[in-house]
Amino acid sequence: VDPNLNLAEEIKRLKKEKNAVILAHYYQLGEIQDIADYVGDSLGLSQQAAATNADIIIFAGVHFMAETAKILAPTKKVLIPDLSAGCSLADSVPVDKFKKFIEDNPGHTVISYVNTSAEIKALSDIVCTSSNAVQIVNSLPKNEKIIFGPDRNLGNYIQGLTGREMKIWDGACHVHEEFSLNRILEIKREHPNAKILAHPECKQPILIAADFVGSTADLLRFAGSDLASEYIVATESGILHQMRKKYPKKLFIPAPPLDSSCGCNDCVFMKLITLKKIYLTLKYEIPEVTLDASLIDKAKGSITRMLEISS
Ligand code: 13P
Ligand code: SF4
């Protein structure tokens, strides 16, 4: 790529020429969020994918998100700028083991977090995201037995909020598991008025210490309230770009993991996507996310059921 090329301008031009749309997650680099047509959480991104009129969707996020877009918009070309942008949480639930888990617990309704492969979604009755998990669980009759996977922290949190006992898969995300409560409390001592915001994938002690728990979009909304002007944010650091952009007069401090030199926590998979890769993907229309039509068929029901409940 010519170093003198204005990547943002070229991306804009190619997008128009090819009727393409860029959907970006809040954990993406700031410069990517700034050129995206839509920036959002997992739920918002899937709703956008289902509704778009574009011919090409460039997914600036991780693989399961692009797969979900493909399932919801199978006639569109879905491109992801780096195929190795995976997810440690999605990887914590191998398909054969999850199948066995379901067989070992017959008569259960299977709720899967969106951070899963298409194969896991195909084994599930209904999908949820962090912003609608309570709503999805509460939509089921009180006597319904529930399997929840793969995130144990979100599962335990939802179980506490809804009072529903669930069989929870023992998976977790490497980013959210790493936050250190001690280091968060050290910051809180220096900023006693700061509110602690946490994503429900964090471990329980952090969720207990948090003033507000929610999806990335929920945290962003809460940061706009008049309750405080300082926030300690326990989720992937990309969301701070959006918070600082929306509320420039407020102070946002990334919650640190136990062991880090940068003082914040990045998702290595999310950060594989760069502006240069987006430009090349748009130009050459690779790598493409493809799925078998039969797998799309099997996985679609659980996602559309979620979208119907969340609409
Ligand atoms: P959200 O649904 O809150 O955007 O979270 C996605 C995710 O990957 C969290 O780690
Ligand atoms: Fe997956 Fe964790 Fe990265 Fe979210 S932050 S995409 S759950 S690895």
Rounded to whole angstroms, the Cα distance separating 89 from 93 reads 7
Residue among 25, 68, 212 whose CB has most ligand 1 atoms within 8 A, to mutate: 25
Give per-residue pLDDT as tens, 247-269.
999 999 999 988 765 566 899 99
* Assigned fold of 176-254: Rossmann fold (3.40.50)
- The pTM is what? 0.96
Ligand 1 atom nearest to 43, measured from its CA: 2
Give per-residue pLDDT as tens, 191-236.
999 999 999 999 999 999 999 999 999 999 999 999 999 999 999 9
Rounded to whole angstroms, the Cα distance separating 281 from 273 reads 11
The reply to whether ligand 2 has any atom less than 6 angstroms from the CB of 242 is no
Q: What are the angstrom distances between the C-alpha of 62 and each of 70, 110, 261, 289?
A: 13, 23, 24, 11
Say how many Å lie between the CA of residue 23 and the centre of ligand 1. 14
Crossing angle of helices 293-310 and 42-51, rounded to 10°: 110
Rounded to whole angstroms, the Cα distance separating 90 from 201 reads 13
CB 244, CB 251: distance < 8 Å: no
The reply to whether ligand 2 has any atom less than 6 angstroms from the CB of 269 is yes
Ligand 2, atom 8: nearest CA belongs to which residue?
87
Ligand 2, atom 1: nearest CA belongs to which residue?
87
- Rounded to an integer, the average pLDDT of 175-199 is 96
Closest CA to 220 of 203, 204, 205, 233: 233
Binding-site residue ranges for iminosuccinate: 25, 42, 113-115, 130, 199-201, 216
Top-tier CATH class for 7-85+270-291: alpha beta
Tokens 């559309």 correspond to: 304
Interface ipTM: 0.98
The number of the ligand nearest the C-alpha atom of 25 reads: 1
Residue among 26, 88, 268 whose CB has most ligand 2 atoms within 8 A, to mutate: 88
- Give domain 89-173+297-310's CATH number out of 3.30.2350.10, 1.10.15.40, 3.40.50.10800, 3.40.50.410: 3.40.50.10800
Give per-residue pLDDT as tens, 51-107.
999 999 999 999 999 999 999 999 999 999 999 999 999 999 999 999 999 999 999
Ligand 2, atom 2: nearest CA belongs to which residue?
173
- Rounded to an integer, the average pLDDT of 9-14 is 98
The reply to whether ligand 2 has any atom less than 6 angstroms from the CB of 236 is yes
The reply to whether ligand 2 has any atom less than 6 angstroms from the CB of 273 is no
CB 301, CB 124: distance < 8 Å: no
Helical (H) or strand (E) element with 259? none
Q: Within 13 Å, how many C-alpha atoms sit on residue 139's CB side? A: 17
Residue range(s) of every CATH 3.40.50.10800 domain in the chain: 7-85+270-291, 89-173+297-310, 176-254
